[in-house]
């Protein structure tokens, strides 16, 4: 290429040309591109939701955020006192100003107050391509009032949703988009997600924060092929204003950084849960619904924030531990076995291979990590901190005779997940002091893989769980005949069960994982119902 002239092939898309031009400009100026989200939404004078929440959420996720304001509101923690819509031609000018100059990766929408504004946005997106469109259909107030009339609902359904990479309605918004159907159960949410997907968006996330009689915050993600039930602790607080805007903005931010869709959704849900927990007792305003603190990272220290952000205890629910010997016995690769387990509902994977050399183990880890990342499922390496580092796995699980958790934390850093096998209260205490994220408690039952390993039984598990300061996954000899019994105990801190033989020493890993997932869901529901009756 002579004289620094940029030659662009006519076969390149408009966006590909922009990427090449941007790259050349960055090289010329000695700069580097950072992920960029454009928020097209309303302004909240109370700064808990809308544009203000989007700016703070993207900043917290390390992403640049530009804005196009569609409406200006006078609102506080008491409610919305006035709304002033920005003229459509001025919205168009804002869009052109940003999109024609700045390399936007993802557009996130919030309040779109008129059919005209929706059409202006759609026109801009045909002129200036972006990687993804995240649609948060802000059309129902906290009190349940529909803020968008039939015409804008029709435009959403017919024109905006088919353009979206993901749409993120709460149950009231999903109901409005689907003509007022009732959404009262998780099954209703799954049905709504499927119906919304039929309208054209590539992915749907129906948020169940307002689901009645639910002990957890349950969201349903549907990508057209698989449903994912995402659960987190329900934080009891008045400071929930802006959670929907924030979740959608976090998804946009993670997509801008290059994350797969399900991973982006999982990270966003964890961030909102962490921020709610941190902010549950702050007092801003006199109304019934206050804002939460998006920038807890600046106040709580990067170490503790990253640790909570990187690990969600709910991921321990169905903890699949691979066994290379069992997979060889059934004539399949470890990678294929991991993929089948994830498709069946495994929520976290531990890669274990005692016989493989370092080179082979590392290659297997990298291949398994690609599968796990594409589904948003964490991958941990058994014992081998060196392999976890070299493969950039999500973390490591160590035993009592392996590297201490404190050393593993020093090597891996604050963002990785560390689990420790424990049998006693003292070992659990040391794991907590050593900055572990969770403990694996057992063996609960005898197992063929560790025949000489003493068991602690259900009573031992209950004792350690009750005393632990960390979330617990039960390990050792757990299968379809006893997993329900373990989960139905409902003891504090017990988040899931680790399964080896009952998954991987079987001909059909997918079918066995599905069966165990359904069994655990039923047992957890039974345990939750019993707990609620006691309370």
The structure tokens listed for 405 are: 């958790």
- Which of these is catalytic: 240, 263, 274, 334? 240
Q: Out of 58, 65, 245, 372, which one is annotated catalytic?
A: 245
> Residues with Cβ < 8 Å from 51, sequence gap 6 or more?
39, 41, 42, 43, 44, 67, 69, 110
CA distance 376 to 219: 15
Instruction: Answer yes or no: 245 catalytic.
Output: yes
The structure tokens listed for 50 are 């809308």
Choose the catalytic residue: 42, 242, 344, 477: 242
Say which of 243, 246, 263, 322 is annotated catalytic.
243
Asked about 237 being catalytic, the answer comes back as: no
Active site annotation includes 243? yes
CA–CA separation, 242 and 142 (whole Å): 10
d(CA 497, CA 472): 9
H-state helical runs in 280-404: 296-300, 302-310, 324-329, 334-344, 358-375, 385-391
The question of whether 242 is a catalytic residue gets the answer yes
Query: H/E element holding 81?
Result: strand 80-85
172, 207, 416, 462: which one is catalytic?
Answer: 207
Among 42, 244, 460, 477, the one annotated catalytic: 244
**Residue 217 pairs with which residues in a beta bridge?**
232
449 classed as catalytic: no
Exposed / middle / buried, residue 365 (Cβ in 10 Å: 0-12, 13-18, 19+): buried
Contact present, 29 and 99 (Cβ < 8 Å): no
244 counts as catalytic: yes
Comparing CA positions, the residue from 141, 68, 80, 143 lying closest to residue 109 is: 68
3-state secondary structure of 321: strand
Positions marked active-site:
207, 240, 242-245
């Amino acid at each position: 290429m002579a004289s620094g002239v940029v030659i662009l092939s006519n076969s390149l898309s408009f966006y590909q040309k922009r990427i090449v031009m941007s790259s050349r400009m960055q090289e010329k100026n000695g700069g580097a591109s950072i992920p960029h989200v454009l928020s097209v939404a309303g302004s909240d004078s109370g700064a808990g939701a809308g544009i203000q929440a989007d700016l703070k959420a993207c900043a917290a996720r390390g992403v640049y955020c530009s804005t196009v304001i569609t409406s200006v509101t006078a609102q506080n923690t008491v409610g919305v006192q006035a709304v002033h819509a920005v003229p459509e031609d001025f919205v168009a000018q804002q869009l052109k100003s940003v999109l024609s100059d700045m390399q936007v990766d993802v557009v996130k929408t919030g309040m779109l107050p008129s059919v005209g504004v929706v059409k202006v946005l759609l026109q801009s997106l045909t002129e200036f391509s972006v990687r993804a469109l995240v649609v948060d259909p802000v059309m129902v107030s906290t009190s349940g009032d529909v803020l968008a009339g039939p015409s804008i609902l029709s435009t959403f359904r017919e024109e905006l949703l088919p353009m979206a990479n993901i749409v993120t309605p709460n149950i009231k918004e999903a109901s409005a988009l689907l003509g007022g159907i009732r959404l009262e159960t998780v099954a209703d949410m799954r049905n709504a997600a499927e119906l919304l997907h039929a309208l054209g968006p590539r992915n749907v996330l129906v948020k169940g924060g307002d689901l009645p009689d639910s002990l957890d915050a349950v969201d349903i993600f549907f990508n057209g092929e698989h449903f994912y039930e995402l659960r987190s602790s329900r934080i009891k607080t008045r400071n929930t204003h802006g959670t929907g805007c924030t979740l959608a903005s976090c998804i946009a931010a993670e997509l801008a950084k290059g994350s797969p869709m399900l991973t982006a959704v999982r990270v966003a849900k964890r961030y909102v849960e962490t921020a709610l927990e941190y902010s549950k007792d702050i007092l801003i305003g006199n109304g019934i619904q206050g804002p939460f603190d998006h920038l807890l990272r600046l106040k709580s220290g990067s170490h503790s924030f990253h640790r909570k952000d990187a690990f969600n205890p709910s991921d321990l629910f169905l903890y699949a531990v691979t066994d290379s010997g069992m997979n060889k016995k059934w004539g399949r690769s470890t990678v294929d076995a991991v993929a089948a387990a994830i498709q069946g509902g495994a929520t976290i994977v531990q890669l274990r291979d005692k016989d493989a050399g370092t080179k082979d183990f590392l290659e297997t880890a990298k291949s398994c990590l690609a599968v796990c990342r594409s589904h948003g499922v964490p991958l941990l390496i058994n014992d081998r901190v060196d392999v976890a580092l070299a493969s950039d796995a999500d973390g490591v699980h160590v035993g009592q005779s392996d590297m201490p958790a404190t050393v593993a934390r020093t090597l891996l850093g604050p963002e990785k997940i560390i689990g420790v096998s424990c049998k006693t209260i003292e070992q659990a205490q040391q794991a907590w002091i050593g900055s572990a994220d969770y403990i694996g408690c057992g063996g609960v039952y005898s197992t063929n893989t560790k025949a000489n390993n003493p068991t602690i039984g259900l009573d031992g598990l209950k004792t350690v769980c009750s005393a632990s300061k960390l979330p617990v996954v039960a390990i050792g000899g757990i299968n379809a005949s006893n997993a329900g019994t373990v989960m139905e105990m409902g003891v504090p801190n017990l988040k899931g069960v680790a399964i080896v033989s009952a998954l991987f020493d079987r001909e059909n890993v997918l079918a066995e994982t599905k069966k165990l997932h359904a069994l655990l869901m039923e047992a957890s529901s039974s345990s939750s119902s019993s707990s609620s009756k006691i309370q």
